[in-house]
Amino acid sequence: MSATASITTPIYYVNDRPHIGHVFTTTLCDTWARAMRMRGRDTFFLTGTDEHGVKVEKSATANGVSPQAWADRNAAEFEAVLRLFQQTNDDFIRTTQPRHERQVQALVERLKAAGVLYKGAFEGWYDEGEENYLTETRAKECEYKSPVSGRPLVRAKEENWYFRLSAFAPKLEAMFAANPDFVRPAARRNEVLGRLREGLQDVPMTRTNFSWGIPMPGDPGHVIYVWIDALFNYVTALGLGDGSVKERVKYWPADYHVIGKEILWFHAVIWPAMLMALELPLPKCVYAHSFWISEGQKMSKSLGNFIDLAALEGYMGKYGLDALRWFMLTRGPLESTDADFRALAFHETYVADLVNTVGNCSSRVTAMIGKTFDGAMPADARGGDAWPAMCDSVVKQWEGHMDRFELGPAAAAAIGLLREVDGFINRTEPFKLAKDPAKRDEVASILAQCAETVRIASLLLEPFLPQRMADLQVALGAPMAGEPWARKVVWGGLKAGTKMAKVALYPRIETPGTPA
């Protein structure tokens, strides 16, 4: 386990309004970053906005403002959304910041010096919406329509600077062979390998048909292609372009670049080749999740099923932030299939997992201790029986899952502990035994074992459910707050006699659906 942990989201286009897609990816990274911080790793979680390119220039003009004013307005909204959803990012990089622009130019100079750039004419199939050329094979596959928007591709020709991606094919192949987990999940890696076999085309580095971008050093008529500019954010935030932020150098390479599947090629092929040319280490893993659809269909503004900011705020207002996070993190498109955001599924997940399991189990245990032992942790003369070993094994599983960015399995392991506690209470029926004074010691052991397991589960659930798990720990007397992780997760943190309060974490909600 290395001492640092670093994770990135894509930087989001400022001409889009924040929606479930952005909040989802950011929440995945936030959950991992919280888990790593809890474990004492020196953590860096980066997000930000992608602000250059023809789309931003056009939207700004259409709105009668300068591109910078447009970018400022929308970047502020993205930042406000991070605060609204209590994301714990350590920095927010904007590609129009001088720190980024300066370093991008320096990095492009280095690419030039490395001999991997050249000026040439190019003609190909261009996706205007995505600002992206498609290979002939790919364009044909997509019937000469944008794979994203469905709009026809246009035949475009320009004289540009190019990055010699084709020269990196052997190195990329060797890298993929040596690092089977470089791209995850496996289905996404196979897609990349399939496309690599079709051969690599050089990629344009600059554009000349608009001006909203970073000028190409030494060739002012050209601006650096928005995708190249954007990819560099991962290292400019750390000052790697000019050594300007020494204390952040340790956060490179990133452990995880978390992205949506539609931008995999840029991250899994173009970006590594650029890093190879710059002789910089590659990120350890590019994790490409799938997409949210909504109520069974692709999200669309016209269908009215778009999970936009207002919809997300509606869910958060009604069910709370933990519920929104839990639904996204356990029912979301973390793997290679898309996931459906359905109001009913959201409601059922909330009731089954948060109300009936996490909430019910914690309130049962704290209420019984309240009633039977006057709210003080009872003594367990049986030393925990089988529970310490079980908790220890679940903690280890959870740690392994977190290290491997397996958030779904980590969440399942954590909530599984509470299901065990519930089953144990149902089997041993301490509420019945409590009526017999001769069984007091037995009841004490049962409830102490339950409470201690709830404490450990609350730690494992905290990155997923930061709000109520913090409350739960306070209710349990905040044992071991400030202690290192390795001590916190060891059995026995709740000492006999510790006062605890009865908790009610997740209110029962009767009717599904978002508020109007």
Give residues in contact with ligand MSP (CB under 6 A). 10-13, 16, 21-22, 24-25, 50, 230-231, 233, 259-260, 262-263, 291-292, 299
Minimum CB separation of residue 399 from ligand MSP in Å reads 26
CB closer to ligand MSP, 10 vs 378? 10
Minimum CB separation of residue 291 from ligand MSP in Å reads 4
Minimum CB separation of residue 77 from ligand MSP in Å reads 12
CB closer to ligand MSP, 63 vs 297? 297
- The three-class DSSP label of residue 287 is strand
Minimum CB separation of residue 54 from ligand MSP in Å reads 13
Tokens of 395: 């903690």
Question: What distance in Å separates the CA atoms of residue 415 and residue 242, rounded to the nearest whole number?
Answer: 45
Q: How many helices (H) and strands (E) does the chain have?
A: 21, 15
**Any alpha helices (H) in 39-168, and if so which ranges?**
54-62, 67-84, 98-113, 136-141
Question: What distance in Å separates the CA atoms of residue 258 and residue 24, rounded to the nearest whole number?
Answer: 11
Minimum CB separation of residue 318 from ligand MSP in Å reads 22
CB closer to ligand MSP, 261 vs 419? 261
Within a 13 Å sphere around the CA of 5, how many CA atoms are in the beta-carbon half? 21
Contact 494, 377 (CB under 8 A): yes
Within a 13 Å sphere around the CA of 141, how many CA atoms are in the beta-carbon half? 8
Minimum CB separation of residue 166 from ligand MSP in Å reads 22
In angstroms, the Cα distances linking 462 to 32, 210, 319, 322, 471 are 11, 47, 17, 10, 10
CB closer to ligand MSP, 191 vs 262? 262
What residues have CB less than 8 Å from 246, skipping those under 6 apart?
239
CB closer to ligand MSP, 22 vs 207? 22
Sign of CA dihedral 483, 489, 491, 494: positive
Strand partners, 154: 126
Contact 60, 66 (CB under 8 A): yes
CB closer to ligand MSP, 261 vs 502? 261
Minimum CB separation of residue 254 from ligand MSP in Å reads 12
CB closer to ligand MSP, 32 vs 292? 292
